[in-house]
Structure 1
Amino acid sequence: MILPMAPPSITLYDVPSAAPEAWAPNIWRIRLILNYKRLPYRTVWVEFHDVERAMRAIHAAPTSAGRDGRPIYALPAISVPHHSTGAPMVLSNVAAIAEYLEVTFPARPVFPEGSRALQVVFVQYLSEVVLQPLLPIMVPLTHFRLPPRAQAHFRGSAPMPMPPHLQPGPQNEQAWQAVKDKFDALASMLDKNNGLDGDGVVAMGRELSYADFAICSVLIWIERVAPHDGWARIRSWSGGRWVRLWDRCKDYMDVL
């Protein structure tokens, strides 16, 4: 268990589910880094429908723009005291936050020397290729786990039915098989670390890194939102590789 030895100086903004509990993968990626680096922080919970108001209140920059040009505010975001003035400084992009934490707190690096570019490419591949068949499953399931007001924020007034590919039957099995195929292909790549180059579990060979936290944050998302369907399946995939990675990261899963 990670016990901060000083009052928190970093605030991490997170969005709860109906539980409530931490589930969002991009936010978990930052939380894992904070815990791994043993940085004291506190979590502030922000409901989905309050994200824009809360981010504007702390002068966070929008993370993207909609088709109409309207700024879009999303989490994660962190607030930290400026190193010279002490005034709050807010970062609101997952990649920018990870970069800031690595540069500002270099102890226990998540980007070992010379690996930054390769890890960034790896995480981009993870997002754009490996996770694509997972999103049509996890996004609706996540919607149903949100508090009622947050659900209405996304769907409008009409209720959202359960999509056919999430209902028991052949379509559901086909959807999960497409996810399994991508995870198996990723496992084959990572298995090249077996032997002298590493233990075959983590992306950099022997030590946890940013790439591992990017994968593990997705595993946490699945375990929290789809424990009986998704996580129960993934535990048996790729010879148990994903459970072994989970076990390597579990010491950094505290929510402070």
Structure 2
Amino acid sequence: MASFTLFDIPSVVPNQAWSMNTLKARYTLNYKGLHFKTEWIEYPDIEDFYKTNGIVHTETRGDGSPNYTLPVLFDSAHNTYISGSTNIASHLDKAYPDTPKVFPNGSEGLARGFEDAMENAIEPIWALLLPKVPVYLNTASKAYFLRTKPRSRVELDQETKREEWARLRAGFSKIASWSAPEGGLFVMGDAPTFVDLFMGGLVYWVKLTCGENSAEWKDMSTWDEGRWDKLLKAVEVYGTVV
């Protein structure tokens, strides 16, 4: 029987999954019903983890240097490490075809393009939310995050926040128009696919970093006729930490 280890980034709250990127992989594993355990790696230790285990990085920085990121999944049955949530989902669909597909009907290429388009649409989110992340991180990761992510050190003034929040809302509405032309909750019908898990992880991240009782989350939960709150409620059941 296959066993899996998901490598995730810890927070100040023990056993709390918080990263939108690692949540996509966590959602995928739980949706497929694949049993796994979680191991936590602080930000400064990720590069050594890659190098020690011979893991191939899948992202690069603006200067062309390797960007060592989580999630990473270890699949014991195939004795392999896979980095990046989209690559993890692709591997699991192919290696375990009897589990529910997150890229159904050969839709992986379309989903990857959709993911790029969604990231462009939500671009304002980084300036708005990255400054809120460090408070959730342990000391070592907090220092690393502040050093390597300049936008986390810049707090926008109130007028700029309002402008960027309006841009973010417009971006979410654009995504809603792409993904639910007939009013459905999921992109491809009655079951979630990777695109839905991507957006669910993002919305959870907003809710967590802003706070459940924050004005920001209360506002977002009403956008597009409550679509994003409904989507989160549909997929957050797959966020279990084990």
Normalised to the residue count of structure 2, the TM-score between the two structures is 0.88
Retained in 1: the 8 A contact 2:21–2:71? Answer: yes
- Aligned residue for 2:187? 203
- Aligned residue for 2:137? 146
Rg larger in structure: 1
> Matches of 1:67 and 1:212 in 2, distance apart?
28
> Matches of 1:184 and 1:30 in 2, distance apart?
25
Of 16, 21, 31, the match for 1:26: 21
- Aligned residue for 2:105? 113
Please state how far the C-alpha of 1:52 moved relative to its aligned partner: 1.1
CA offset digits 1:163-187 (Å, max 9, x no partner): 342x5x3222222111111111222
Matched, 1:173 2:162: yes
> Matches of 1:25 and 1:117 in 2, distance apart?
21
Percent identity, please.
27
Please state how far the C-alpha of 1:155 moved relative to its aligned partner: 3.5
Cα RMSD after superposing both structures: 2.3
> Matches of 1:191 and 1:37 in 2, distance apart?
23
Q: 1 or 2, which has the higher helix percentage?
A: 2
Please state how far the C-alpha of 1:120 moved relative to its aligned partner: 2.0
Matched, 1:248 2:234: yes
Give SS of 2:181's match: helix
- Report the count of equivalent residues: 236
Query: Where do residues 57-96 of structure 1 align in structure 2 (5 Å cutoff)?
Result: 57-66=52-61, 70-83=65-78, 88-96=79-87
- Aligned residue for 1:215? 199
Amino acid at match of 1:118: L
CA offset digits 1:33-73 (Å, max 9, x no partner): 10000000000011111111222222212233445654331
CA offset digits 1:191-247 (Å, max 9, x no partner): 3123xxxxx111112211111001101011112211224322211111101111112
Q: 1:191 to 1:78 in 2, by over 3 A?
A: closer
Query: Where do residues 121-136 of structure 1 align in structure 2 (5 Å cutoff)?
Result: 121-127=113-119, 129-136=120-127
Please state how far the C-alpha of 1:26 moved relative to its aligned partner: 1.4
> Matches of 1:171 and 1:190 in 2, distance apart?
29
Of 40, 44, 69, the match for 2:39: 44
- What are structure 2's unaligned runs of at least 5 residues? none
Normalised to the residue count of structure 1, the TM-score between the two structures is 0.83
